[in-house]
Every structure is written in C-alpha cells, then in structure tokens.
Structure 1
C-alpha cells in the first residue's frame, strides 16, 4: 500500500480557466483529488510539453485516460473543478 498522502486544509472552486484548473479537472475526471494524491499512489505524471497532463490512470479501475494537448475543460465545467491548498 502507498504511503500516507497529505490532506488538504482548504478547498475553493475555480472561477476562470487556466492551466492549473485544466490539470485539476483532468485529475478529478480520473477520480483523483489532485496531483498530490495521484503521485502519492501512482507516481509521476506524464505531461505534454505545454505542461498539461497527457495521461492518468483512473482510480476506480486502473484503466488509462488519455488527454489532448489542448483544453478539454469546457466553460460549463469550470465551476465544478475543486482547487485544494495544503
């Protein structure tokens, strides 16, 4: 089993799109809270040269999610995205 993962102290909802929101959206789509939780269980994250996440292993069934080089978080989904602080 993986080591203990740090727990967030605060959560806010995203208001505007940026790379941080896009990556948080991708983690949450795959069932993870954020990069801290993912790297604590699965290790390194594969990214595109522009900094966006390329692929993630889903939490539920360990299948892979593959993401495009461009934005995937639609405007209607921005406010559903949670941003955590530690």
Structure 2
C-alpha cells in the first residue's frame, strides 16, 4: 500500500510532536523526586533530608550550606533543562 504502517505513523508523526512534553515531564518528575527526598528525610525516611537533619544536629553549618546549595543547583538545573527542551521542541 501507499500508506504508512501504524509503527511508522507513530515514529514519524506522533513521537516527534510528543518528545518535548515527554522530556519536560520526565525532568519535572526528577525534580519532584529530589524535593521528596529532602522532605521525606526530615521525617525519617532517608535521603537528602536525613543527611541535612544529621548535619544540623551536629551544628555542621558548612555541610548544611553545601547540601542546600547542591539542592538549589539541582532544582535550577532541572528547571533550566526543562525550559531549554520546551524551547527546542516547541
């Protein structure tokens, strides 16, 4: 036949249009996981928050500051990457 198969229609028609949104959503979920790791750690579930809580209890201000800056950098990186991908695939 002259038409494309369902797989070809998906690969060349649907997927290119959805790639930007899929990548953006994946990065958003990664950012949510980072934030959840911090929050859940403060209530005893492990992760970044537990380490931050331990460092605060030991009055290790430098460690806490480094962790907060790393957390902020990860969130900003996720936001920047998401914005760049949306712009590229829009």
TM-score by length of 1: 0.21
Name the structure where strand makes up a greater proportion of residues: 1
Name the structure where helix makes up a greater proportion of residues: 2
Structure index of larger Rg:
2
TM-score by length of 2: 0.20
Q: Give the number of the structure with larger relative contact order, counting CA–CA contacts within 8 Å between residues 6 or more apart.
A: 1
